[in-house]
Amino acid sequence: MPLTFADPGRVNIIKKIGGTPEVKQHLEDMGFNVGGRVCVISALGGNIIVRVKDARVALSSGLAAKIMV
């Protein structure tokens, strides 16, 4: 399922990252790698805040939809 549908507070494992090669590279540079852990902290106005590799990152719903957990 896309990260946008993940329950807040629950740790998920990244299964796949979609999008163009540039989008994939951008997400990998922010710490989103296949097999990595990600936790949704909150979802506000279509955007979500997640914890990945001990950092908090804000994502648009479009980018979050490309991350499958």
Q: What angle do CA 11, 27, 59 make, to 5 degrees?
A: 65
CA distance 37 to 39: 7
**pLDDT tens for residues 4-54?**
999 999 999 999 999 999 999 999 999 999 999 999 999 888 899 999 998
Residue found under tokens 């979500």: 48
CATH number at 3-68: 2.30.30.90
How far are the Cα atoms of 5, 8, 10, 37, 58 from residue 45, in angstroms, in the given order? Answer: 14, 15, 20, 24, 12
pTM summary value: 0.90
Q: Is 26 helix (H, G, I), strand (E, B) or coil?
A: helix
Q: Structural domain boundaries of the chain?
A: 3-68
In the numeric block, which tokens belong to residue 26? 């951008």
